[in-house]
Amino acid sequence: MAKTEEAYERLKADLLRSRIAPGAPLVVAGLKARYGLGWTPLREALSRLEAEGLVISERNRGYRVAPVSAAAIRDLQLARRTVEEALLVRSIEAGDADWEARIVAAHHRLSLTPAPEPGIDDAGMSLWEERHDAFHAALLSAGRSESLSRFQQQITEQLQRHHRHMLFDPQARHGLPQAAMADFRALVERTLGLAHHTELMDAALARDSARAVALLVEHIGFSLAVYAFLWPEDA
């Protein structure tokens, strides 16, 4: 069991951090060499990750990393909006002073963390992801629904993989002219920068559910905007 859990955790981490590219084949022999683990724990890990939507299995072709696409992002956006809208409204209605303090503290930590931009290293991206996700978790933390919170975490992980792919894939920005690169950096800043998160915090603390939800919906839509900039033919 310990080896299976190790295989699952290590492989999942590499998938979420886009260290193994979307669509790449997952050959068990290659995974054995990469992780120093046996066939059985790796196959069991792949089955678990397939159930989570991070891996797909094709008849006569084996396993491969789930691809990234505009359709996948739209689907994740719909799921995220459905879950997070409900949790946010419930949190604004039920949140107490401790909830407010958690939001302010998480926002402060996020404000101290440089937003990702093309070329950021893995450590910098990981720190930002940790603090960004903690901020959103704080916003939703008074929602009082274990099931919705569990779904929200799964959706967050899936989107993390898409964000990483958009920022780190060397082919994503290949051939972009300098002017387009400047536009791309501005779009990433708007998507991942602090300003929009501050507006979202202010609306939540003001108990303005309508504005908070509108800002959340806008925030959720940013991922597809970045993807469409890089791969307009797919979007």
The alpha-carbon radius of gyration of the chain (Å, integer) is 19
Q: What is the mean pLDDT of residues 128-140?
A: 95
Q: What is the mean pLDDT of residues 49-73?
A: 91
**What pLDDT is recorded for position 89?**
97
Query: Could you count the other beta carbons within 10 Å of the beta carbon of residue 51?
Result: 9
Q: Where in the chain is the domain with CATH 1.20.120.530?
A: 70-230
Compare 32 and 223 and report the one with higher pLDDT.
32
Q: How far apart are CA 216 and CA 162, in angstroms?
A: 18
Task: State which fold the 2-65 domain adopts.
Answer: Arc Repressor Mutant, subunit A (1.10.10)
Side chain identity at residue 25, one-letter code: P
Q: Where in the chain is the domain with CATH 1.10.10.10?
A: 2-65
Q: 175 pLDDT exceeds 90?
A: no
Tokens of 140: 């939703």
Which CATH class, in words, describes the domain spanning 70-230? mainly alpha
**What pLDDT is recorded for position 170?**
59
Quickly list H helices, the chain.
2-16, 28-35, 39-51, 70-94, 97-111, 122-140, 146-168, 178-192, 194-205, 209-230
**What pLDDT is recorded for position 120?**
79
